[in-house]
Amino acid sequence: MLTPPSAPECPSASSERCSRGAMGLSSAAGGRPCDAKDFGHGSLVCACSATYCDTLDPLVLPAPGSYVKYESSKAGKRLERSEGSFQHNTKSPGIEYNLVRVPMASTDFSVRLYTYADAEGDFELRHFNLTEEDTHMKIPILQAAQAVAKRPLSLYASPWTSPVWMKTNGAMTGRGTLKGSPGDKYHRAWAKYFIRFLDEYAKHNLTFWAVTAGNEPTAGEIVFYPFQCLGFSPEHQRDFIAQDLGPALANSSHRHVQLIILDDQRVMLPYWAEVVLKDPVAASYISGIGIHWYLDFLAPIDLTLSITHHLFPDYFLLSTEASTGSYFWEPRVVLGGWDRGSKYSHSILTNLNNYVTGWTDWNLALDMEGGPNWSKNYVDSPVIVDSSKDIFYKQPMFYHLGHFRFHPRGLTLEHSAFLRPDGAIVLVVLNRSPTDVSFGISDPRAGFIEAVAPSDSIQTFLWKQPA
């Protein structure tokens, strides 16, 4: 096993003092152990540099009658692997993300404000052009990710704002929507903007699984947002899709691209879905409903997602954005914050158990401040990069997400089970309590497992059933 290099000093800009955790380096973290550092926030980060980073061993399922377990904990375990028996080698590249949200032009996490068609009155979008952010960053990164992925990536695109000459307020930020009304030249031009984006990315061999009708349409419609937004009411979105965006997609070479509505807080459900999907023309162009997690505390899951699924079972639900450290009363970046990883797992498990088919983190990697972000709307991230030291830290969030790589897509213990395409069974168990919890796993065909979920831990069990 390789020995990690000596840990670098803590960032000098931080007022906190850091040191190796009491556990030091966990030798069971995988092919290479975690280079653990403790920044005093209750859990550890794993430091990575150009020359060293912890990795997982290849996933090899045990013979029927045995199981494999992966465990991460607040105390310091990071996807630690162990095996056991029921009672009576291809190297993995890592977490294996397969769902990628791609912004159409700038967001608050850009370093500047821009769109692809800034020429005033260019209704035919003759001056539509991708920017260097696309050609030098997004596109090469997506191509590199696809090159190492074991299966095709599902890309979906979301716009934050239209060009300002199309907007009622003449600005990318603040309260404003499209000029005119659905079916007119402004709405037709905005629909064409989607098609042109898909055209340009296709030239780079990047095709999209889906697009959303727009990021957080309530921003700019109901509230004043200090960053890029384009307001829509559900009625406005319904009519825009029925008259403009839906036909534009259907009549283009991108007719296979699926269309997702809402892309906003689940507190808007089921009302938003009822307004849009009860129109048969709009509904005929739509495949799914996107949700964000920021106001989940105002929206009980059974009164939002479950009701929406039962009202409209033919439309998938997809979690399209989540991030921690986003509330004004919270610190932005917390290196080693176990609770933030636990929040991710809790959200994923409860969503998957309420008809949601996928879950998207907003930013996989950010800097030590929680950016870059032109509007200073900083948040936390599973990977935090300290470019001044050429090092990055894999947060507890990273490892919580890693426990969901194994499936195909009240009580203190939360759990969810899945059946993999290869026939293996996967069980994810989350313990958010400060005490250890004993529990049992019963599979009538395989046997029984007596198990313990340590305090503040997440575990993944995998096994094959006997033939």
Determine the pLDDT at residue 89: 43
Determine the pLDDT at residue 225: 86
Determine the pLDDT at residue 410: 44
Element (H, E) at 139: helix 139-148
Long-range CB contact pairs, 281-286, < 8 A, 24+: 281/242, 281/246, 282/238, 282/239, 282/241, 282/242, 282/246, 284/246, 285/241, 285/242, 285/245, 285/246, 285/247, 285/249, 285/250, 285/259, 286/241, 286/246, 286/259, 286/260, 286/261, 286/315
The position carrying tokens 């296979």 is 256
Instruction: Report pLDDT digits (tens) over 439-451.
Output: 889 888 889 898 9
Could you tell me which residues come within 8 angstroms of residue 243 by beta carbon, excluding any fewer than 6 positions away?
182, 183, 187
Overall average pLDDT of the 332-359 stretch: 95
Task: Look at residue 39 and tell me whether its pLDDT is greater than 70.
Answer: yes
Instruction: Report pLDDT digits (tens) over 313-323.
Output: 999 999 999 99
Overall average pLDDT of the 148-163 stretch: 93
* Record: fold of 99-321: TIM Barrel (3.20.20)
Q: How many CB atoms lie within 10 A of CB 131?
A: 16
Instruction: Report pLDDT digits (tens) over 371-413.
Output: 999 999 999 999 999 999 999 999 999 999 999 876 654 456 8
What residue ranges do the domains of the chain occupy? 60-93+412-463, 99-321
User: Omega into 270 within 30° of 0, i.e. cis?
Assistant: yes
Q: Is 369 a catalytic residue?
A: no
Of the chain, the percentage scoring pLDDT greater than 90 comes to 78
Question: Where do runs of H (alpha helix) occur along 241-354?
Answer: 246-250, 271-277, 280-283, 301, 307-311, 338-352
* Record: fold of 60-93+412-463: Immunoglobulin-like (2.60.40)
Residue 205 CA: distances (Å) to CA of 125, 147, 198: 22, 12, 11
Task: Look at residue 226 and tell me whether its pLDDT is greater than 50.
Answer: yes
Given 71, 216, 221, 414, the catalytic residue = 216
Task: Look at residue 22 and tell me whether its pLDDT is greater than 80.
Answer: no
Strand-by-strand arrangement of the 154-159 sheet: 99-104, 154-159, 210-212, 258-265, 288-292, 316-321, 356-359
Q: What is the pTM of this model?
A: 0.84
Residue 96 CA: distances (Å) to CA of 59, 254, 355, 438: 12, 26, 22, 30
Task: Look at residue 117 and tell me whether its pLDDT is greater than 90.
Answer: yes
Determine the pLDDT at residue 411: 54
The string over 291-330, giving b where at least 16 C-beta atoms fall within 10 Å of a residue's C-beta and e elsewhere, is: bbbbebeebebeebbbbbbeebeebbbbbbbbbbbbeeee
Task: Look at residue 13 and tell me whether its pLDDT is greater than 50.
Answer: no
Same fold, 60-93+412-463 and 99-321: no
Name the band, by pLDDT with cuts 50, 70 and 90, for residue 59. Answer: confident
Q: Is 16 a catalytic residue?
A: no
Least reliable range by pLDDT among 98-112, 183-197, 282-296, 400-414: 400-414
Instruction: Report pLDDT digits (tens) over 236-286.
Output: 999 999 999 999 999 999 999 999 999 999 999 999 999 999 999 999 999
**Mean pLDDT for all residues in the chain:** 90
Overall average pLDDT of the 302-326 stretch: 96
Given 71, 80, 221, 321, the catalytic residue = 321
Distance (Å, whole) CA 44 – CA 250: 49
Overall average pLDDT of the 317-341 stretch: 96
Are the beta carbons of 18 and 38 closer than 8 angstroms? yes
